[in-house]
Structure 1
Amino acid sequence: MEKTIPTDKARQGRRGVKVLAVLVASLLLAFVVWAAVGIWGETIDGSTADNPGGVTAPAPKNTPTSG
C-alpha cells in the first residue's frame, strides 16, 4: 500500500532568506573579484593611452639650420 504525502511536505528543501543571502553574497563577491582582476590587468598591460601600440618613434636628428 502506497503512502500519500501532502504536497507541502514533499518539498526537497525550504526557500528562505538564508539561501537568498548566500546567493546574493556570492554574486557580489564574483563582481568584486571580476573588477579587481580587470583593474589589475589594466595596470600590468604596459601600454598607455598616448601610446597604444607600445612602440616609440625614433628621436629626430639634430640638423643645423641655416639662417
Structure 2
Amino acid sequence: MTKTVPTNKARQGRWGWHVLAVLIVGLVLAFAVWGAVEIYGVSIEQPQQQTPKG
C-alpha cells in the first residue's frame, strides 16, 4: 500500500544557506578567473605597427 503525502510536505530537499553559499562562491571564482584571463590577454597582446599617414 502506498503512503499518501500532502503536497505541502512533499519536498525533495531544502534550499538552504549551503546551496546559496556554493552558488555565490562559484560565481565569485568564475569572475576571478575571467579577470585573470583578461589581464593575461592584455599583457601578451602584440604592439600594433603604426603606419605613416600621407
TM (norm. structure 1) is 0.65
Count of aligned residue pairs for this structure pair: 52
* Distance in 2 separating the partners of 1:37 and 1:55: 24
RMSD between aligned residues: 1.9
Q: Does 1:55 align with 2:49?
A: yes
SS in structure 2 opposite 1:11? Answer: coil
Report what 2:25 is aligned to. Answer: 25
How big is the shift at 1:2? 4.5
Q: Percent identity?
A: 56
Partner of 2:35: 35
Quote the Cα distance in structure 2 between the aligned partners of 1:8 and 1:16. 17
Q: Higher relative contact order by CA 8 Å / sep ≥ 6: 1 or 2?
A: 1
Letter in 1 for 2:31: F
Which of structures 1 and 2 has the bigger CA Rg?
1
Cα distance in 2 between the residues matched to 1:55 and 1:46: 9
Give the letter for the 2:26 counterpart.
S
CA offset digits 1:6-40 (Å, max 9, x no partner): 22431111010000000000000000000000000
Higher helix share: 2
Unpaired runs of 5+ in structure 1? 48-53, 59-67
Segments of 5+ residues of structure 2 without an aligned counterpart are: none
